[in-house]
Structure 1
Amino acid sequence: MTKVTSNETQNDAMKMAKSTQKPGQTKEQTKLIALGIEKGISEYKKQHKSKARDRDRARKQVIKAKARANSDHIDTEQLIETNPKAHYLPWGLLVLSWIGFINVYFFQ
């Protein structure tokens, strides 16, 4: 299966091949050189697209990680803010238990 390249790439390859053409070089040789240049351009574009996709993927992962970290931080803050009296429960139970111990040992 042959991959079709764009006309722009073919024209650029032919221009480069003609600009480097040596005296006595046939048209067929120039076309072969143009095909080689065309393959090189296509390969370069393919690699460039791949690198751009990888950079974009990495950028999106960083953004998602920051969003997750921010949402975790906000969730923790919201838990603390939604029930500010929650820290009174353990202290209240401690005071009640001490009152119970004092009552048992001193007022029997």
Structure 2
Amino acid sequence: MARKMLIKALPASWNVEITQASNGREAVAAYHAGKADVMFLDLTMPEMDGYAVLETLQHEGLDSFVIVVSADIQPLARERVRALGAAAFIKKPVDAVQIERVLREYGIEL
């Protein structure tokens, strides 16, 4: 449900191929398959949470533009994901204005 809401909130003009992952391991596998130039990442996922995904990307020296999308808005969570390489943090529930603002702020062409 959360993934569907996120996909609906993506800018209609953004010409991208969307790949979904139901857990952190699938997210890392999608990255390895070249399908995660921009990654929207939840912190709460089965098998491997968002923190572990960020740690894996950082440890392997992988370069993806990661936007964390989470209901956990505690300052420590935000600090931790930034330290692990996330470019931005968007609070759930997401909306199209938030997403477009972040993408434009970081120079993502829409």
TM-score by length of 2: 0.20
Which structure is higher in RCO with an 8 Å CA cutoff and minimum separation 6?
A: 2
Higher helix share: 1
